[in-house]
Amino acid sequence: MSVGGFTVGSVISPGVTSRVPNECEGAPSAQDAQPAQETHPRANGRELKGFAPGASAAELSLAARVGLGLARAGLGGSGLGGVAEVDLGLLEFAVVDLETTGWSPEQAAITEIGAVRVRAGARRGEFVRQGEFASLVNPGTPVPPGIADLTGITDWMLAAAPRLGAVLPGLLDFAQGCVLVAHNAPFDLGFLVAGCGDLGLAWPGFTVLDTVMLARRVMDPDEVPDCKLSTLAEFFGARTAPNHRALADARATADVLSWLIRRLAHRGIRTLRQLSSWPDVVA
């Protein structure tokens, strides 16, 4: 689908699977390692979920600053709906990543959205890409020089891009029926929920899985120095290297997710209900 001259589409890639490296087969037990701070613009707060669709950007930002946990939002296992007992290997995931002009929804805007829809392949732990969604977004405000240097997204690139109102409904349709996944989900959800509120769209209330928090749970601190997406993607040999562009980072996150689920299986964790015992990971 073309919106404002930019492609917003679902590209099916049959038979392409995410590789799980051999060194992950053992899935060692891990303590909850605290990674270094992300250098990519990410909010430091933990929870931006659990708000009404019209929640203000200020409310969302406050939640980030005070670090509300998923459990305190009352979502825990109760927010999992009919997928709570479904085997993780049978679920479909929409892995999303955003690029923005800054750190918080009340002071910044989305410049790019990328998403990859994946589900398990024939072998446990392997993901097949079902489709992809990508679009630049005109934020209606200049991109700060530091952000432009980081992402490569410039005002010139965004001048003819569609506004968020022409893109966000397509993302919601693309992700319908999926578990929504992001690396440091509170950042991405903060902007998406705020965007829905600004546009008068109802937030669908996705079940959400945060790969950075999941990695902190299952990675041995001796394996990686931190749980940045770039670190994990390199460690697990992701097919796409993250580069602070939305679709590339979503692809890398999907590959990382595939081996994280493999490690969960080795721990006997096979459903979202079981995984919800870590309320900072899934809600």
Phi-psi region of 205 (alpha: psi -120 to 50; beta: other; left: phi over 0): left
Residue-level pLDDT at 214: 96
Cα-Cα-Cα-Cα dihedral sign, residues 28, 29, 34, 38: positive
- Fold of the 2-21+41-275 domain: Nucleotidyltransferase; domain 5 (3.30.420)
SS3 209: strand
**pLDDT over 50 (residue 236):** yes
**pLDDT over 80 (residue 28):** no
Give the tens place of pLDDT for each residue, 154-167: 999 999 999 999 99
Residue-level pLDDT at 139: 97
SS3 185: helix
Residue-level pLDDT at 141: 95
The whole-angstrom separation of Cα 171 and Cα 208 is: 15
Average pLDDT, integer, range 39-66: 35
**pLDDT over 80 (residue 121):** no
Average pLDDT, integer, range 119-128: 71
Give the tens place of pLDDT for each residue, 56-91: 443 333 234 323 333 333 333 335 767 888 888 889
Contact at 8 Å (CB) between 235 and 255? no
The whole-angstrom separation of Cα 71 and Cα 85 is: 19
- Of 6, 3, 264, the closest CA to residue 157 belongs to 6
**pLDDT over 70 (residue 283):** yes
Separation in Å, CA 190 to CA 7, 104, 207, 222: 24, 8, 15, 32
Residue-level pLDDT at 83: 84
SS3 250: helix
Per-residue confidence band for 144, with pLDDT thresholds at 50, 70 and 90? very high
Mean pLDDT score of the chain? 77
Q: What percent of the chain has pLDDT over 70?
A: 70
Average pLDDT, integer, range 217-237: 94
Q: Give pTM, 2 decimals.
A: 0.75
Q: Which two tokens stand for residue 281?
A: 């990971």
Burial of 224 (0-12, 13-18, 19+ CB in 10 A): middle
Average pLDDT, integer, range 133-162: 97
Average pLDDT, integer, range 37-48: 34
Contact at 8 Å (CB) between 156 and 136? no
